[in-house]
Structure 1
Amino acid sequence: MLSRKNKLILLKLLSLFSVVRGYNILIIVLAQYLTSIFILAPHIKLRNVILDPNLFVIVLATSGVIAAGYIINNFYDREKDLINRPQKTMLDRLVSQRTKLTVYFVLNFLSVVCASYVSFRAVVFFSLYIFGIWFYSHKLKKFPIIGNIVASLLAITPFFAVFIYYKNFDEVIFVHATFLFLILIVREMVKDLGNLRGDIAQDYKTLPVVYGELISKRIVSILLLISCFPVYLLLTRYEIGYMYLYFYICIFLFIAFLFGLWKSKGRIHYVWLHNILKTIIVLGTLSIILIDITLVLDRVM
């Protein structure tokens, strides 16, 4: 049996894991490696990509910055989250604000140190990334549309890190990135719809607060329909192997999402819609391997 002290330590570790959203970071790490293997560096042997120390350091630095970003976001949103997500917020509060800020600065410092192993440009890149996350959390997230766009850009920045490293400028990469970017914007707007009560209480000028739920739903619907354009291009213009199955699933999920969006009337409904979008993103990460399954076998040799 664990002692009371050990149970408290375990709960605090669980709380910190909840704050930094470790499960999201694991998905991002997996996405960075799969993107590197199947999209950005398909000409390099699998073993060489996986064991590349520079790529490992980039992924490690990215994970540290993102974890720190979740901490500073949690710091600024603590009052709003208490209204929107009281149970999760109570768990998050097991770790003091002082401890969170200490971990925030340590993670950012270590991430920059890791980046210095790759190059000075990597140091500049991650320093700007850190500043961008802080500025978004402190100021920009309180503004409609701008906050959603910046949040989405920050979310795809980890992929730009490996994109810059491999210097792969193929057109298909930008089409994939456009699709992901649009899905992320939609996700951010759906989060704002679900957080309406807390945003109003804390005077956040998000899209639903300023323009109302109806207009927000219309904008979300338009963006989701626009995201069908890169899907069409990927299905008809580019060679994506069996990944076409993923995009057909996306079309079905889009229809279910739009139907649910216009039927939604409360936070619980928007949580379900948010989960649909998370499913699309996670499935997209896992389906990267379907671009060319034989590629794995060929590159192991």
Structure 2
Amino acid sequence: MNFTTFLKLVRYPNLLMVLATLILTKYALVYSYLPVSVLSDFDFVLLSISILCITAGGYIINDVYDVQTDGINKPHKQLVGKSIHLETAKKTYAILTIIGVALGLYLSISKELYSYSLLFIGISLSLYIYAVFLKRTPLFGNILVALCVSFIILTLLLFERPNELPNNIIMVFQQLFTSIGISTAGLFYIIFSFLSTLIREIVKDIEDINGDHAQKMRTLPLVIGKQRANRVAVFFTVCLLVFIIFVMKMELVDYPYFLGYTLLVVFAPLLYFLYKLAIAKSTAHYHSLSSLLKLVMVLGIASMLFFTF
């Protein structure tokens, strides 16, 4: 397996998106509110490598258990079983996951935040369980993936505020109606990541319905039907739009640039996404919608930059 093939295997564009999310959370969002950062630059590098390795391992193990399905849904993109031997993929998954969890354990222990070790162990186990079992179940697998994605931001915030965020989560929700702090701002992006990922996972399941059906999987579109699954995706998209309206209303006074950016670059494309989703029919339609939503996710996370103004 050459380096180019390896990059494709670990979904390097997605990993770059994860890395960008971590960098923006650390150097835009956290630095805007906290004068002193708990994590040094070196600690941040270790945490980033840990999360990237665990995420890459999740992509690989997903491909390992999707060899037959991918052969139907996307034969031109399939790597495992073609360009990469199945056993090689399994070993690469094991190495990356071990490195990711080990770095997470080291960082947790060095900061005397021993319980945080469970985050890295739990996320790696969740990605494995999803690939082996939950991907073949309706909605639960989608929710698990969305939770894992949202945990990228949450994990960093937990390390930056070890004595506050876990113990005072009620105060975080109280701040939603009073003032904007780091905990509240972080919560916005956690919810945004969760909902947008959940919608995209449902859309991808609809896109892959033929291959999933051939493998007798029980994804949401196969259990309740393609049109009903579409309506579920529409419902969550409406929820996301309402949530963004709520956020824009809160940010109107203190962050006018954030408001304008979110309205034009995130909210408007999501409205277009909702319209196209409501009339989507073919696999090509859902593939385009998945790509559009991925772009919206990137642009949404990029709005963290406006907290520095």
TM-score, L = length of structure 2: 0.85
Show CA shifts across 1:48-86 (max 9, x none): 789522121111100000011111000001110111101
- Residues 289 and 92 (structure 1 numbering): CA distance in 2 closer, same or farther, change over 3 Å? farther
**CA–CA distance in structure 2, aligned partners of residues 150 and 184 of structure 1:** 10
Consecutive unaligned residues of structure 2, counting only runs of 5 or more, are 166-171, 173-182
Letter in 2 for 1:83: I
Q: Which residue is equivalent to 1:260?
A: 276
Between 228-237 and 120-129, report the one with greater CA deviation.
Answer: 120-129
Q: Which secondary structure does the structure 2 equivalent of 1:237 belong to?
A: helix
**CA–CA distance in structure 2, aligned partners of residues 192 and 186 of structure 1:** 10
> Residues 58 and 114 of structure 1 are in contact (CA less than 8 Å); yes or no, is this contact kept in structure 2?
yes
> Residues 270 and 296 of structure 2 are in contact (CA less than 8 Å); yes or no, is this contact kept in structure 1?
no
**CA–CA distance in structure 2, aligned partners of residues 208 and 84 of structure 1:** 15
More helix by share: 1
Letter in 1 for 2:21: A
Show CA shifts across 1:242-275 (max 9, x none): 2223321322212221222233221111110001
- Residues 182 and 43 (structure 1 numbering): CA distance in 2 closer, same or farther, change over 3 Å? closer
Q: Which residue is equivalent to 2:168?
A: none
Q: Which residue is equivalent to 1:186?
A: 199
**Deviation, structure 1 residue 204:** 1.2
**Deviation, structure 1 residue 132:** 0.8
Show CA shifts across 1:204-246 (max 9, x none): 1111111111111111111111112221221111344522233
**CA–CA distance in structure 1, aligned partners of residues 67 and 6 of structure 2:** 14
> Residues 241 and 291 of structure 1 are in contact (CA less than 8 Å); yes or no, is this contact kept in structure 2?
no
- The alignment's C-alpha RMSD in Å is 2.1
**CA–CA distance in structure 2, aligned partners of residues 171 and 78 of structure 1:** 41
> Residues 242 and 292 of structure 1 are in contact (CA less than 8 Å); yes or no, is this contact kept in structure 2?
no
Q: Which residue is equivalent to 1:22?
A: 12
Q: Which residue is equivalent to 1:296?
A: none
Indicate which of 298, 302, 308 corresponds to 1:282.
298
Letter in 2 for 1:102: K
* 2:67 counterpart of 1:73: no
**CA–CA distance in structure 1, aligned partners of residues 295 and 41 of structure 2:** 30
Identity %: 24
Show CA shifts across 1:92-133 (max 9, x none): 721111111111111111112222331233433211111111
- Residues 109 and 90 (structure 1 numbering): CA distance in 2 closer, same or farther, change over 3 Å? closer
Consecutive unaligned residues of structure 1, counting only runs of 5 or more, are 1-8, 294-301
> Residues 19 and 52 of structure 2 are in contact (CA less than 8 Å); yes or no, is this contact kept in structure 1?
yes
> Residues 151 and 190 of structure 2 are in contact (CA less than 8 Å); yes or no, is this contact kept in structure 1?
no
Letter in 2 for 1:16: F
> Residues 19 and 70 of structure 1 are in contact (CA less than 8 Å); yes or no, is this contact kept in structure 2?
yes
Between 94-103 and 120-129, report the one with greater CA deviation.
Answer: 120-129
Q: Which secondary structure does the structure 1 equivalent of 2:32 belong to?
A: coil
TM-score, L = length of structure 1: 0.87
**CA–CA distance in structure 1, aligned partners of residues 140 and 73 of structure 2:** 22
Q: Which secondary structure does the structure 2 equivalent of 1:119 belong to?
A: helix
Q: Which residue is equivalent to 1:246?
A: 261
Letter in 1 for 2:208: N
Q: Which residue is equivalent to 1:298?
A: none
